[in-house]
Structure 1
Amino acid sequence: MIDLTQSILDRDNLNLVLDNLKLGIIAHTPDRTITVFNKEAQKITGYLKEDVIGRDCHMVFQAPFCGKKCSFCDTTPNFTSGTKEYPVNIITKDGFDRQLEMTVSAITGKNNEFKGVIASFKDVTETFNLSLKAENLSNFAGIIGKEKAMQEIFRQIRDVALYNYPVNVTGDTGTGKERVAYAIHDISSYGNGAFVPVNCRAIPEGIVESELFGHVKGAFSGAVKERKGRFELADKGTLFLDEVAELPLKTQVKLLRFLEEGSFEKVGGEKKISVDVRIISATNKNLKDEVNKGNFREDLYYRLDVIPIHLPPLRHRKNDIPILAAHFLKEAE
């Protein structure tokens, strides 16, 4: 009886300590059953403790709470001891977007056996918004700039990372389209997967379909073995199609079919392959003009240009030049 009373007291004291922390705390077992959810976690997410305790952390919220960045998104957990830190965007119970900074650690027993994970997180949404409003955020996800146009780019990156809609980044050569694409990937639910960039201009027209979708053995002369394409390599991650306006019309048809169905066939193959890939495209051309010229399919244009982001050239944001110069000088030290 004394041991039971002491156990209850220890548990109550632990809950009291956790509820007085100014960080959200969530913990779960190896099978993702939530065991701890403190007051700050309730405040940030809008979910009550009784809503989540004893439930799967991938099922109780509107999306996996980790943003699909933890090691429990596959059937077999593969979480090694240590600490992971990453940003994550969530949607609260009331439907509001919040940006969090999360730290995740393994819970181990006396004999170093794996018992689950514990995560602490804080809401940095208001800090981020205030920095944007004051236009004093000069570095976001490795992108440098304080001009108002760049603050809007930072806001767009944060907002679109929440969703899996195709993004089309436009801008002159050298404006940082790939950096923006990677930033979206990194803070999105696909950030734990691969970021696979493809320069569509650099691939010879005769092999572009094989490069993107792969081929089976014997599909053409020289295809001595089956090969994965970029779509398969980017499964659970992001495929970045740079210079997408340069894709041949035949390949555009196959890309359109993938965007509609979520599956494709390898060159020379008959089996449909399904992958979970986020598509981000980029071009320094006006795609609408390319449609009018007959160089780009109109239906594909509307599929890719769901969320457009335009990057201004440096000549239109001259106030960023000193900041960029200081950044590169520091890098060179």
Structure 2
Amino acid sequence: MVTGSEADRNRILVLDTAAGRLAGRVAAELSGRLPADTEVVAAAVAPEGPGEGVLRIEELSRVDFDVVILLEQDGVAGGPQSRNLETITRSASFVGAPVLLRWPVAGDADDAGGGLPGGVAERVTALSDQGLLQALLAQHHRLEGVLDALQEGIMLHDQHRQVLLFNRAAEKITGYAREQVLGRSCPEIFTPDGLCGSRCPFCHGENPQFAGSRYELSVTDARGEDRRLSLVSVPIDLYDGGLPGVLVSFRDVTEVSQLRRRLRQKDSFHGMVAISESMHEVFDTIRNLATSDYPVLITGESGTGKELAARAIHNESRRGAGPFVPVNCGALPENILESELFGHVRGAFTGAIRDKKGRFELADGGTLFLDEVGELSPAFQVKLLRVLEQKSFEPVGAERSVSVDVRIISATNRDLRKLVDEGSFRSDLFYRLAVVPVELPPLRRRREDLPVLVEQVLGGVRAETGKEIEGLDDAAMDTLYLHDWPGNVRELINVLQFASIRCPGRLIEPRHLPPELAAGRPSRPAAAGAPARRGKLDSRAVSRALEQTGGNKVKAARLLGVGRATLYRFLARHPLQ
């Protein structure tokens, strides 16, 4: 029996797909010609019987070989040989065999006899006497040394996910010794989904024709510790195109991931996350408002997070320990809105069976948030203006006034200045509400925030559903960058919740996204100068953006939908004329 303990010996495996005795005779001939530190092993594919000098395939499991010589019966086309070769790879691990020699031999070459057929004898002589095998062995050992010198882990497995190669860096990163891994199934070692996280096309019996992918996922190493890995998987043809396989390279990015998490925590502000300069300018404005009680008007498109911003202003202020009371001015009819805001006394109208405090009184000592303030009727605008000026009001049906200490924060997705010009919104009320204006940028103008927003939303999905969604693959993330996001962050939340339901594994792919995103159709015309793909800037678009912004790189980056660092890196690599 051949064992894998003698690491200092060169090993050559001679395989006979015809299940005959030729492999044994070739092995015996080579053994007599090669140096003593070279071990030649013979095996037949079919298990009818070992024969003289021939080992069963099962006896070769997890043995490293430096060179494999495959004897293929000439004239047996396609199917049988392919199936035999597949049987071999499932039974034996050719970990140390980057070179596979394939010899077609005559159909009767395995007949009983003491000598070798002429063609085979010539090949054996050429391999041994002319030093070709020694050259192949030296080539293999150099390659093995290169793989073991790499800082990245390297793993190779076949279509049955049986591990065929595992370098030293892979041992260090995962904690598994090479002997523990070789010849075993990938998901058997890296439970439950394998090192690829079910991203390999062989995981589900799919067609192995794929372009490869780059992604991150978490695995548990041999020490029971959670590791964050960055992986690249690419298709590869094993043994001169005989069988498909997958080569996976990976790096340990656990510390980097932890650092990113800490940085993201710094980029979180009262539930809002962002790395974009435009949003951090908003955060700075909110911090500056902490020392005053001036009314604030928050503007921005629907779904940009105006209520979150209002809560942040409240929490940062001296009123943070007091109540925060929101009311949607556009969701209630005017007669009900008056009662909601100012309250009423018993008997004020049909159904008023008891006194009720209004939102103004409930917000006493805190903040009242008036959302969709642009929807107020002209008549109600007068009532609201009077309350803001006098800081008191009468509940519906009451004869007494109620004084309150309330800070007003209002919000709208409409252009109030335009409404003032049109005469549908009172200018005096506008100036009362908009002492400090805060504008929230739309998501399409801060696409660099997508990664941190995605992680925040998926964190909520994991907490709510228990599904271990790791994130999005590169193609799905690029799809998000392409989309114009008319619904802003609210739409992003909807998209990711939809995708998490459809995703059976750990990584969301384009096919899991809503149809309008998966098809790559923008919801409306893209902003001028916006890049087609994340990080894929072109000189014409950059030049146009710089012209439009008068050379201001910060504004140009914002127009292009990328971060400043991305634009600076592009300009460093591609100087513009």
Smaller-chain TM-score bracket: 0.5 to 0.7
1:246 Cα deviation after fit: 1.0
1:326 is the counterpart of 2:455? yes
Partner of 2:302: 173
Contact 2:334–2:380 at 8 Å: present in 1 too? no
Check conservation: 1:194, 1:234, Cα contact below 8 A: yes
Residues 1:238 and 2:379 are matched in the alignment: no
Tell me, in whole angstroms, the C-alpha distance in 2 between the residues paired with 1:293 and 1:263: 30
- Is the CA contact (8 Å cut-off) linking 1:195 and 1:234 kept in structure 2? yes
The match for 2:494 is: none
Q: Structure 1: which 5+ runs fail to align?
A: 1-133
Rounded Cα–Cα distance in structure 1 between residues aligned with 2:408 and 2:425: 17
Aligned counterpart in structure 2 of residue 203 of structure 1, from 317, 324, 332: 332
* Structure 2: distance between partners of 1:285 and 1:220: 33
From 252, 264, 274, the equivalent of 2:393 is 264
Q: Partner residue of 1:220? A: 349
SS in 1 for 2:374: helix
- Paired residues in the alignment total 200
Contact kept in structure 1, 2:298 and 2:409, CA below 8 Å: yes
Match of 1:306 among 432, 435, 459: 435
Amino acid at match of 2:267: S
The CA distance in 2 between the partners of 1:294 and 1:217, in whole Å, is 37
| Root-mean-square deviation over aligned CA pairs | 1.7
TM-score (norm 1): 0.58
3-state SS in 2 of match to 1:219: coil
Match of 1:297 in 2: 426
Q: Distance in 2 between matches of 1:330 and 1:292?
A: 44
What is the CA distance between 1:137 and its match in structure 2? 4.5
Measure, in 2, the Cα distance between the counterparts of 1:327 and 1:188.
25
Contact 1:212 1:230 in 2 (8 A): yes
- Structure 2 counterpart of 1:259, one-letter code: L
Q: Amino acid of the residue matched to residue 249 of structure 1?
A: P
C-alpha distance in 2 between matches for 1:140 and 1:290? 32
Partner Cα distance (2:422, 2:349) in 1 = 32
Partners of 1:269 and 1:297 in 2: how far apart? Answer: 27
Q: What amino acid sits opposite 1:215 in the alignment?
A: H
Greater helix fraction, Structure 1 or Structure 2: 2
Give the letter for the 2:296 counterpart: V
Q: Which residue of the partner structure matches residue 185 of structure 1?
A: 314
8 Å CA contact 1:238, 1:277 repeated in 2: yes
Query: Residue by residue, what CA displacement relative to the aligned partner does 1:307-331 show, whole Å, maximum 9, x if unpaired?
Result: 0000000000010011111222223
State whether residues 264 and 452 of structure 2, in contact with CA within 8 Å, keep that contact through their aligned partners in structure 1: no
Aligned to 2:137: none
Sort the Cα spacing of 1:326 and 1:136 in 2 relative to 1 into closer, same or farther, 3 A.
closer
**Mapped contact 2:325–2:368 kept (Cα < 8 A):** yes
CA distance in 2, matches of 1:251, 1:217: 22
SS in 2 for 1:161: helix
Whether the 8 Å contact between 2:264 and 2:273 is mirrored in structure 1 is no
User: Could you tell me how far apart the structure 2 residues matched to 1:203 and 1:146 are?
Assistant: 36
- Match of 1:192, SS state, is coil
The answer as to whether partners of 1:136 and 1:146 remain within 8 angstroms in 2 is: no
- Deviation of the 1:274 alpha carbon: 0.5
Question: 1:149 is matched with which residue?
Answer: 278
8 Å Cα contact 2:298-2:411 kept in structure 1: yes
1:276: Cα distance to partner? 0.8
**Which string of whole-angstrom CA distances, capped at 9 and with x for unpartnered residues, describes residues 251-293 of structure 1?**
2112111111111111122211111111000000011111122
**How far has the Cα of 1:139 moved from its partner?**
1.0
Q: Is the 8 A contact 1:135 1:147 kept in 2?
A: no
Q: Deviations over 1:179-202 (max 9, x none)?
A: 000011112111111111101111
Deviations 1:8-56 (A, max 9, x none): xxxxxxxxxxxxxxxxxxxxxxxxxxxxxxxxxxxxxxxxxxxxxxxxx
Q: Among all aligned residue pairs of Structure 1 and Structure 2, give the percentage whose two residues are the same amino acid.
A: 56
Deviations 1:57-98 (A, max 9, x none): xxxxxxxxxxxxxxxxxxxxxxxxxxxxxxxxxxxxxxxxxx
Hey, what's the Cα distance between the residues in 1 that align with 2:404 and 2:323? 13
Q: TM-score, normalised by structure 2?
A: 0.34
Contact 1:146 1:320 in 2 (8 A): yes
**Structure 2 CA distance for aligned equivalents of residues 264 and 136 of structure 1:** 43
**SS of equivalent to 2:369:** strand
Matches within 5 A, 1:114-153: 137-153=266-282
Alignment match of 2:406 (pick from 268, 271, 277)? 277
Q: What runs of 5+ residues in structure 2 fail to find an aligned partner?
A: 1-262, 463-577
